[in-house]
Chains A and B, each alone.
Chain A
């Protein structure tokens, strides 16, 4: 349902009436200008459940951000901001983190939220359901609640990225009284979530929509401003473009719109388009190379591939300009980026010369090497990018076979190291120690996704990654990561292509949509419609 001007004015009137009741706060702020209204937004694909502690898909996170609370959130520069934790302190040795929680926070069923819920989530819930959080919090020696509004994390070793792990996807605080002693995967609350955030779950009609309504008992007085948020599940890209253009929805994010539609809508004065709000994720689209066998185990061969791909073409023609040419493993949108590394300009001549130097002669068909590239089955964009890579590499005599399958088939090939090249774009999660080094350190060579599946191993990189993770001084940490980036680009086990950008498009009446580095996954407790 779209709010018409008249309905909206009516809502403002009723909101004005509520205002009088709120005068006791002594606030001069006119709530009447901001309260009320229903936001309709696109959600796709439909998540299997609504609990971000159990399911890590981005749509789940979009919903969970409104329903649940995390201790912290992060600004565009990925500096921590208060959320459920109003303040925090770190001990001088970098091993003890103390968080003070907001008072008067209640679960949607009326029970009080206490430090006990946080301890329960970290020690009993996440280790079972979220491998990424498990790996981070396994660094804790103890997690305790000295009083109902204080949580203390004691680390075994200093971990410089630790303060980056308190976002809604990593540590969403779960209600202990609902989950303790139950099967966490099967608990009915995963489908009718009971959180503590600004919006409450009302209804989920599968295949159609998810309806959230204002939490009247939210701990921030007068907030949230919206009466309700309805997430519409619209599986077709063309229909999503019609939906926002015609006003059935007022907000789209991530890959909801085809990039050419986004490019077009960005020019429409009815909408605001921004690419901010993805800093916490900041994926780099890259071509990784399984370095275990010849010829990919030869640095010169990998250089040749890197020289043969025109990164600007990929950004401009395949990503419709949404992105920035990447120079190395850490995104410039996140922290500790250093662009002072070996450069790979687009040059077929240099690439061919490198292959000649290796002694890789073209056979009777003009082919110097044959490689397998399983195509990531996530829509048109990766398919087009893989086609482009095949054509580019053909120019230097490398014959690439594209292998198509669905998500499960693709994941199986990658996890089992059964590939030569792979185009992918993992999230960086705000800190190299969490989202980047996992892909390169030799201790993380495993037969699972998002590990070092390429089999890259360099003791110096391992040492730098460990040292940087434990280094509490930001300046020294930067120096370690700069060194690591230099070595990684020198070795080039991966051809880093483009730092991806995603369009968030919304109705221009909508305010405060993207205010932090996690963007539309925020709680939306300050989002409102301007009259």
Chain B
């Protein structure tokens, strides 16, 4: 085992594989963009029909005008090349449904989304490692049983039900927290008061979303600690007289973290997508709901924009996770 500090992360030897990965990443993103384009257009029904369905009346001229405005009267290949040309210049297009640039539409949802998913991520990661670690170390004891049972129950509970129950308890019965929303409307708060207010609104949805992943991390961490504790190097450490805490912190924890890092990497990539269910229950103005609505309304440009942003973020997080492996487990560097 070496110290964290004696290897620089971005040494020249490391830079080369990183660059190779980045090049691959760009290729993957473009392939995904093309795939998304066909996927989105494969769904039956076009935006003109959706608008007509909501309008209560329509005529052919109006439908033709809407299709022309969306560019849907063009052949699919023309639409694809037009789309790709824009993607390369990082122009996300124009949402015909909202009549605004896609980048603007996405940007205004990004803040609340990251606030929600980021908080939930931290809650689940920290809580999961601590509780799972505790359970693993005390495997078979009472505290382990409690943690294991609770995490199983949470994991098996549908997230929407959990959300509604938390609302009923904390918002309706106890009246400690607001049942839904992003901040107090019309209060004109600023500075600390604003963030305190938002924090109150954030707590329930972030906890609901976080609990599910917390349960997953706790179970992963527990299993992983138990597995590591039976390995030879841990036995050696114990044999050479290392204390309990030293064995745990120096030897077991870092090794046990690997599966959690893998899982967290996958989850981090999806953070930006938000959560349709949580955002719906708590009326949170996030990207999940925006995506869902864009699908229903066949807002192709907006949908493709969201997909593109998500695929870029997922690719970046995969890269970061790979690099993190190298930090957590030096053996991977040679692979």
Contacts and interface: CB of A to CB of B under 8 A. Distances in A.
B46 to A, nearest CB: 7
A408 B167 contact: no
A190 interface: yes
Interface string A314-346: 000000000000000000000000000000000
Given A239-B180, A243-B180, A406-B45, A228 B53 contact: no
Contacts of A57: 54-55
A236 interface: yes
Interface in B27-61: 43-47, 49-61
A185 interface: yes
A221 B167 CA distance: 43
A1 B185 CA distance: 6
B58 A131 contact: yes
Contact of A412 (B44, B54, B178): B44
A206 B55 contact: no
Contacts of A185: 69, 99
Interface string A226-255: 001010111110110011011010000000
Interface stretch (A444-452, A497-505, A513-521): A444-452
B103 to A, nearest CB: 14
A238 to B, nearest CB: 6
A366 interface: no
A242 B172 contact: yes
A427 interface: yes
A206 B279 CA distance: 13
Contacts of B251: none
Choose among B61, B183, B285 the residue with the greatest number of A CB atoms under 10 Å from its CB: B285
Interface residues of A, number: 60
Contact of A408 (B98, B290, B293, B298): B298
Interface string A375-417: 0000000000000000000000000000001111111110100
Nearest to B108: A206
Nearest to B285: A207
A232 B99 contact: no
Contact of A409 (B44, B65, B100): B44
Contacts of B183: 208
B163 to A, nearest CB: 9
B179 A131 contact: no
Contacts of B69: 185
B213 interface: no
Given A135-B57, A239-B282, A208 B186 contact: no
B67 interface: no
B27 to A, nearest CB: 32
Given A238-B164, A242-B172, A243-B179, A56 B185 contact: no
A313 interface: no
Given A206-B108, A208-B285, A235 B280 contact: yes
Nearest to B109: A207
A104 B57 CA distance: 34
B49 A239 contact: no
B99 A186 contact: yes
B295 interface: yes
Contact of B53 (A230, A238, A411): A411
A245 B173 CA distance: 12
A48 B55 CA distance: 12
A492 interface: no
A139 to B, nearest CB: 15
Contact of B187 (A1, A132, A243, A446): A1
B217 interface: no
Nearest to A133: B57
A49 interface: yes
A379 to B, nearest CB: 12
Nearest to B167: A242
A242 B55 CA distance: 30
Contacts of B43: 406, 408-409
A45 to B, nearest CB: 8
A409 B44 CA distance: 5
Contacts of B121: none
Nearest to A170: B57
A276 interface: no
A486 interface: no
A239 B167 contact: yes
B296 A448 contact: no
Interface string A50-93: 00000111000000000000000000000000000000000000
Given A408-B296, A448-B52, A449-B58, A234 B186 contact: no
A135 B59 contact: yes
Nearest to A47: B54
Given A135-B57, A208-B182, A407-B45, A234 B52 contact: no
Nearest to B277: A236
A408 B52 contact: no
B45 A205 contact: no
Contact of A208 (B50, B58, B63, B283): B283
Contacts of B184: 1
Contacts of B63: 448
Interface string B54-82: 11111111110100010000000000000
B59 A134 contact: yes
Interface string B291-317: 001011110000000000000000000
A211 interface: yes
Interface string A168-202: 00000000000000000110001100000000000
Interface string A430-455: 00000000100000001111110000
Interface in A23-55: 38, 40, 45-46, 48-49, 55
Contact of A236 (B50, B172, B280): B280
A230 B283 CA distance: 15
B21 interface: no
A372 interface: no
A411 B49 contact: yes
B53 A48 contact: no
B186 A131 contact: no
A48 B290 CA distance: 11
Contact of A246 (B44, B45, B171): B171
Given A238-B164, A239-B179, A242-B167, A405 B44 contact: yes
Interface of B: 43-47, 49-63, 65, 69, 97-100, 108-109, 112, 164, 167-168, 171-172, 178-187, 279-286, 289-290, 293, 295-298
22 contacts: A1-B187, A55-B51, A132-B56, A134-B59, A134-B62, A191-B99, A207-B109, A207-B284, A208-B182, A208-B285, A236-B180, A236-B283, A239-B280, A243-B179, A248-B178, A411-B49, A412-B45, A438-B57, A447-B60, A448-B52, A448-B58, A449-B49
Lowest 6 CB-CB distances: which A-B pairs, in order? A207-B285, A408-B45, A132-B57, A411-B49, A56-B55, A412-B45
Given A235-B283, A243-B179, A450-B56, 8 more contacts: A49-B98, A131-B61, A132-B58, A186-B99, A207-B109, A411-B52, A429-B56, A448-B63
